[in-house]
């Protein structure tokens, strides 16, 4: 996420972060570099210029050059300004209605349908809500089918009416269906076109007027940079929407839309999409995003994600198994599943301070566990719970079945054994033992 921008800002601020003496000249030079980095990120000229002007004024106001750690203070000022530019505080969505109606708008391909599913899934699992999805794209039957597929994946009902060509009528009927059946959230997925046009705007505006949603969200592909910002403006003029959803941040190396959209339409970014899977949704926190852009990582989000996936009941069962030496490959597999649910690997690594920069050129496979999973799936249930029985011929069979080699199977076994030993040690009051061992 935003690797190019992070890189350039890091280079720009490098001089100040060092311990050399800081002068007015290198502060000015740094600000010029920061501005260039923002322009390269597809931030428009005026916003980039205003940004550096504000940073300069703040720096002067705080007498940066006379402070003890001028470099760090400068970085902090840049971070605060970046946070402010992206919206200051995080803003939630209005769920006060019964049902709360959420209207999705945006161009075709922006990720509306995917995000409708992600949001329904999020509200169901994290906020204990009972959502209904409503399919209002009357032009593309495939879009309705797609929403049904998404609904099926997350176990959320989808209301649709394929013969009906009136999206206002469908959305009203969807809301009535929700009221009659005890749904407290209605998410309405609407039709988009490839570019902004009058017919689309009239249609979404008519739906908006007819149903008066609690929350109107504008979905946009962050990779489209300045186009995203212009499209946001067009939709906001017609809908006066409540918030922006930035999708495909996982593929966005520049970050221009994320940085500028708030200041152009004066509406907060509420959520971000970071992948194609239903779990790839995050609340947008401007300050955490600024940390990530400046290569400071985002430990808070990382810990939160780990906590979300942490299931106490499962953990207790696992402890018992470890104590009884019964930790097997099925348990190993479920651990991997939990890690995977936290998000894609590169994204997770980016949350560790400093790691993003270190790993920027390393190609981390989105599915780093594929080989391991294939090997485990090729084992029989008996082998999984009892790895001790894996002899040469079994390993050969597993290698063949998983499309890997005996060496790879051996390597996994070795890792598995080390991990089992370590877990056992950690349990037997063994953090101390382990420290002793590490001390050698
Ligand atoms: P719609 O036409 O606005 O409903 O867009 P879709 O929901 O059909 O999404 C268009 C494409 O973008 C699909 O292939 C999605 O899988 C993909 N997509 C949506 N959100 C994200 C995201 O956050 N990250 C990535 N990498 N792909 C996404």
Q: Is residue 319 part of a domain?
A: yes
Pocket test for ligand 1, best of 148, 276, 282 (most atoms within 8 A of CB): 276
Same structural domain, 419 and 374:
yes
pLDDT in tens, the chain (440 residues): 788 888 888 888 877 776 566 677 878 888 999 999 999 998 989 999 999 999 988 888 877 777 767 777 888 899 999 999 999 888 889 998 999 999 999 999 999 999 999 999 999 999 999 999 999 998 888 999 999 999 999 999 999 998 899 999 999 999 999 999 999 999 999 988 888 888 899 999 999 999 999 999 999 999 998 899 999 999 999 999 999 999 999 888 888 899 999 999 999 999 999 999 999 999 999 998 998 888 776 667 777 777 777 677 777 787 788 777 788 898 888 888 877 777 777 777 777 766 666 666 666 666 667 888 999 999 999 999 999 899 999 999 999 999 999 999 999 998 888 877 777 776 655 455 545 555 44
What pLDDT is attached to residue 113? 96
Q: Is residue 367 part of a domain?
A: yes
Residue-number span of the structural domain to which 316 is assigned = 304-439
The domain that holds 66 is classified in CATH as 1.20.120.140
| Cα 113 to ligand 1 centroid, rounded to whole Å | 7
Same structural domain, 381 and 418:
yes
**ipTM of the complex as predicted:** 0.99
Same structural domain, 329 and 373:
yes
What pLDDT is attached to residue 90? 81
Q: Is residue 49 part of a domain?
A: yes
Same structural domain, 349 and 251:
no
pTM (global) more than 0.90: no
Last residue of a domain, one of 86, 112, 143: 86
Q: Is residue 92 part of a domain?
A: no
Domain count, the chain: 3
Q: Is residue 94 part of a domain?
A: no
Same structural domain, 247 and 107:
yes
Pocket test for ligand 1, best of 109, 110, 112, 114 (most atoms within 8 A of CB): 114
Same structural domain, 288 and 356:
no
Same structural domain, 224 and 312:
no
What pLDDT is attached to residue 440? 41
111 marked as binding residue? yes
Distance CA 19, CA 53 (A): 24
Last residue of a domain, one of 231, 261, 296: 296
| Cα 73 to ligand 1 centroid, rounded to whole Å | 39
| Cα 62 to ligand 1 centroid, rounded to whole Å | 45
Q: Is residue 236 part of a domain?
A: yes
Pocket test for ligand 1, best of 103, 105, 108, 111 (most atoms within 8 A of CB): 111
109 marked as binding residue? yes
Ligand 1 pocket, CB under 6 A: 106, 108-114, 192, 247-248, 250-251, 273-276, 280
Q: In ligand 1, which atom is closest to the CA atom of 108? A: 2
Same structural domain, 212 and 130:
yes
Q: In ligand 1, which atom is closest to the CA atom of 137? A: 4
Q: Is residue 196 part of a domain?
A: yes
Same structural domain, 259 and 145:
yes
Q: Is residue 95 part of a domain?
A: no
Same structural domain, 104 and 55:
no
Same structural domain, 29 and 48:
yes
What pLDDT is attached to residue 252? 85
Same structural domain, 312 and 264:
no
Last residue of a domain, one of 296, 328, 349: 296
What pLDDT is attached to residue 354? 63
53 marked as binding residue? no
């Amino acid at each position: 996420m935003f690797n190019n921008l992070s890189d350039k800002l890091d280079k720009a601020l490098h001089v100040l972060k060092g311990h050399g003496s800081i002068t007015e000249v290198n502060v000015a030079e740094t600000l010029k570099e920061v501005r260039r980095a923002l322009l390269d990120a597809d931030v428009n000229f005026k916003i980039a210029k205003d940004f550096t002007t504000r940073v300069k004024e703040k720096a002067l106001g705080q007498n940066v050059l006379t402070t003890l750690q001028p470099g760090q203070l400068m970085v902090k000022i840049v971070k605060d300004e970046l946070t402010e530019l992206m919206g200051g505080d995080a803003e939630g969505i209005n769920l006060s209605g019964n049902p709360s109606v959420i209207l999705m708008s945006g161009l075709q391909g922006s990720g509306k349908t995917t995000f409708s599913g992600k949001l329904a899934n999020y509200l169901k699992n994290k906020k204990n809500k009972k959502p209904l999805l409503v399919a209002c794209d009357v032009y593309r039957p495939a879009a309705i089918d797609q929403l049904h597929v998404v609904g099926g994946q997350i176990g959320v009902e989808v209301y649709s009416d394929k013969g009906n060509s009136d999206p206002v009528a469908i959305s009203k009927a969807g809301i009535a269906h929700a009221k009659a059946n005890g749904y407290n959230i209605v998410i309405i997925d609407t039709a988009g076109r490839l570019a902004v046009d009058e017919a689309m705007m009239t249609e979404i505006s008519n739906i908006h007027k007819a149903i008066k949603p609690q929350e109107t969200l504008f979905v946009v592909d962050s990779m489209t940079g300045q186009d995203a910002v212009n499209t946001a403006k067009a939709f906001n003029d017609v809908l006066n929407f409540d918030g922006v959803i930035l999708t495909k941040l996982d593929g966005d190396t520049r970050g221009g839309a994320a940085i500028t959209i708030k200041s152009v339409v004066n509406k907060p970014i509420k959520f971000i999409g970071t992948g194609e899977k239903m779990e790839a949704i995050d609340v947008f926190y401007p300050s955490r995003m600024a940390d990530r852009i400046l290569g400071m990582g985002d430990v808070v989000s990382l810990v939160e994600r780990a906590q979300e996936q942490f299931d106490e009941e499962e953990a207790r069962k696992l402890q018992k198994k470890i104590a009884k030496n019964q930790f097997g490959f099925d348990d190993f597999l479920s651990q991997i599943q939990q890690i995977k649910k936290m998000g894609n690997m590169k994204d997770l690594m980016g949350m560790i301070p400093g790691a993003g920069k270190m790993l920027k050129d390393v190609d981390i496979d989105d599915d780093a566990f594929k080989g391991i999973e294939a090997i485990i799936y090729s084992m029989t249930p008996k082998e999984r719970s009892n790895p001790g029985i894996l002899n040469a011929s079994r390993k050969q069979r597993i290698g063949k079945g998983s499309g890997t080699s005996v060496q790879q199977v051996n390597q996994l076994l070795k890792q598995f054994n080390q991990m089992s030993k370590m877990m056992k040690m950690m349990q037997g009051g063994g953090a101390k033992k382990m420290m002793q061992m590490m001390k050698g």
